[in-house]
Chains A and B, each alone.
Chain A
Amino acid sequence: MNNRMVLWMKHNIFLECILGIYAVIFFSYPKIGIQAIYNSGYYIKEMLMIMPVIFILTALLDSFVPKEMILRTLGKEAKLKGVFFSFLLGSISAGPIYAAFPICTMLHKKGATIRNLIIIISSWAVVKIPMLINEAKFLGLKFMLVRWGLTILSILLFSFLAGLIVKDDDLPREKEEQKIGVTINRTACMGCTVCTKKYPELFEMDGKKARVKEVKEVEMERLLETISSCPVKAIDNAVSSIQNTTVYIDQ
């Protein structure tokens, strides 16, 4: 428990710094301190009103849209259908932009074009459906629609350009770490057994926490699916280990 405290403190240095600054400000300029609390209150109120639904909506989209089908199509086909599915995959998926990276690597191996990879990553970053509603709320429907339209046009254009500049050979070849890089963050794991049910060949229960079995080969697709279904995002695939240092999840 004590250990957990220390870990939490380590991961939230930014919050502690801010609270420290508040203490100093309140001591020396109480007026500014009160104004700051008042300002923060407004944003907290706004956040609490919209954030729970955004999370629920994102999780629902992520769990119920048949991604396997999209992934299969993307692997084979490149043309217009591929472009459309790339946008679709990016817009419905949950998680920060770097969560798209391992999926894109996998798709590239299966034959997806550079152009489609760029589309997936970019739309993953900006074209989030729940976020669009949020944008319309604070900046107006017209603002959101125009920005959204322009963004999609831009992505179409610059993904095409990127496809001309970057060739398939520019991407690194197979990496070994993908086979051995699976770890479980045991402080985050809450023992829900989702992973051991989804991928029993790789995960097993060790008391109340999950553990990675020693295996030679990992089926990337199943692994990624299992990672995304972990409710606490406790499974790390080496490439996503930055998660502990990157504090925010940009939707």
Chain B
Amino acid sequence: MDIFTLAVWILTGGLLLFFFQKDKRRTKDALKKAFFMGKGMAASIFAVIFAIGLLLAILPPATIASFIGKQNETLAMIAAAGFGTITLIPAFIAFPLIGTLRSAGVGIMPSVAFLTTLTMVGVVTFPLEKREFGRKFAITRNLLSFVFALVIAFVMGVVL
């Protein structure tokens, strides 16, 4: 186990002990909640993981990296942002996936663009957002988020 994971486990363990002393029932409720959150998502998580595993077997990361590397960088970034907009991958699977692609040589701009639009812009949740806040709000928020995801990606490409 690497240092980050270990740190989170220790931190969480400490917090659990602390809260358990403070409020037994609420801590138990929280644990229950965590368990059912995981249970509810388990099937879809495994589906996504197996899909990614298969995709990477057919298209090895190195192939993807060299393909993206041959494209215009700005275009690759926009395409990655678009891809992040339409796909639904839980963030905690997206991070190791992008980690794999990064170490295979995929550039920083497409990676960041994908990660940011993945969570902030949503085609799937758009109808719901529109119903709740109206068309103008939903369009404005999603468009601005998309544009700023590109800005973030661009700046990170320059800085790092």
* Complex alpha-carbon distance, A192 and B33, angstroms: 11
Give which listed residue, A36, A231, A250, contacts B53 with CB less than 8 A.
Answer: A36
B120 touches A122 (CB 8 A): yes
Chain A residues in 8 Å Cβ range of B23 = 64
Give which listed residue, A33, A55, A126, A170, contacts B116 with CB less than 8 A.
Answer: A126
B119: shortest Cβ distance to chain A, in Å? 4
Q: Is the interface of B mostly helix, strand, loop or mixed?
A: helix
- Count residues of A near B (Cβ-Cβ below 8 Å): 96
From known contacts A64-B19, A138-B98, A150-B156, infer whether A239 and B34 are also in contact, taking CB-CB under 8 Å.
no
Chain A residues in 8 Å Cβ range of B69 = none
Q: A98-B125, A137-B95 are in contact. List 11 more A-B contacts (CB 8 A).
A: A19-B50, A54-B8, A59-B31, A94-B33, A114-B137, A146-B160, A147-B115, A192-B32, A194-B29, A249-B37, A250-B119
* Complex alpha-carbon distance, A35 and B61, angstroms: 13
* Complex alpha-carbon distance, A57 and B10, angstroms: 11
Q: Is B145's beta carbon under 8 Å from chain A? A: yes
B44 touches A247 (CB 8 A): yes
* Complex alpha-carbon distance, A171 and B140, angstroms: 12
Q: Is B66's beta carbon under 8 Å from chain A? A: no
User: Interface size class for chain B?
Assistant: 35 or more
Q: Which residue of A lies closest to B129 (CB)?
A: A101
Q: Is A105's beta carbon under 8 Å from chain B? A: yes
From known contacts A18-B51, A59-B30, A233-B36, infer whether A47 and B93 are also in contact, taking CB-CB under 8 Å.
yes
Give which listed residue, A39, A131, A232, A246, contacts B56 with CB less than 8 A.
Answer: A39
Q: Which residue of B lies closest to A172 (CB)?
A: B134
From A7-15, A72-80, A199-207, A212-220, give the one contacting chain B.
A7-15
Q: In the A-B complex, list the 8 residue pairs whose CB atoms are closest, starting with the nearest.
A: A40-B53, A138-B99, A15-B47, A39-B53, A36-B57, A137-B4, A35-B57, A59-B34
Q: Is B62's beta carbon under 8 Å from chain A? A: no
Q: Which chain B residues have a beta carbon within 8 Å of chain A's beta carbons? A: 1-2, 4-5, 7-9, 11-12, 15-16, 19, 23, 26-27, 29-38, 40-41, 43-54, 56-58, 88-93, 95-99, 102, 111-112, 115-116, 118-120, 122, 124-125, 127-129, 131-134, 136-137, 140-141, 144-145, 147-149, 151-152, 155-156, 159-160
A248 touches B89 (CB 8 A): yes
